[in-house]
Amino acid sequence: MKRILDLLYAVTGLLLLAPLLLLVAGLIKWRDGGPVLFLQERVGHLGKRFQILKFRTMKAGRGKNGPKFTIMGDARVTDLGKVLRRSKIDELPQLWNVVRGEMSMVGPRPEVPEYVELFSEEQKEVLQYAPGITGLATLEFRNEEHWLGEVENPERVYLNEVIPRKIELNLKYAEVANCWQDFKLILRTVVALFDMRSVPRRNEEK
């Protein structure tokens, strides 16, 4: 049932958002002529690797250099990219990952192989679940880029604080997950996208 609903949500989303997707693709191409999509290897269900799709938000050729995550003020991000990242529009191409069966609508955000290799055996339990576009961890860390930009060592904080907390939330949700809970999380995600209030600082995150 989850797979059927994933397909329904993803296909419906792609059809309804087609004009927006085409507009964004055109803007990216028009701004610097580089590729429209950014592909990055991630680790999915049972450790299977796949290419996650995003609209390119960084200067052409810069996404492969530097940290595997971005922080506020990252010089690699274009002006258009800042808007796409803030609105999360850059994540919309992942609806195609859902159609292909590589991702689910709701589930743990897939990490890059370099970070997964650092998981403990207990943390690797999260790989038992299909990665998702949104989830409890996604909502809690929706402003991750902003408060990582406030710390002295973003990568250390990401590895030692962010990843463990995300895994904790994802495993907790997996215990009670069902189609109705997934639907409510998708709605919460849509509502959060339209929340234009100021971005909370790190110590204000719940």
Q: 40 lies in a domain? A: yes
Q: 96 lies in a domain? A: yes
Q: 163 lies in a domain? A: yes
SS3 at position 111: coil
Q: 157 lies in a domain? A: yes
Q: Does an H or E element contain 132, and which? A: strand 132-134
Point out which residues pair with 39 in neighbouring strands. Answer: 53
Per-residue pLDDT reduced to its tens digit, 47-78:
999 999 999 999 876 556 566 667 677 788 89
Q: 203 lies in a domain? A: no
Which residues lie below 8 Å from residue 20, measured CB to CB, with a gap of 6+? 89, 92
What percentage of residues in the chain have a pLDDT greater than 70? Answer: 88
Bigger pLDDT: 107 vs 71: 107
Q: 91 lies in a domain? A: yes
Q: 201 lies in a domain? A: no
| Domain count of the fold of the chain | 1
pLDDT at residue 68, rounded to an integer: 63
Q: Residue 16: which domain range?
A: 2-196
Per-residue pLDDT reduced to its tens digit, 157-189:
889 999 999 999 999 998 888 999 999 999 999
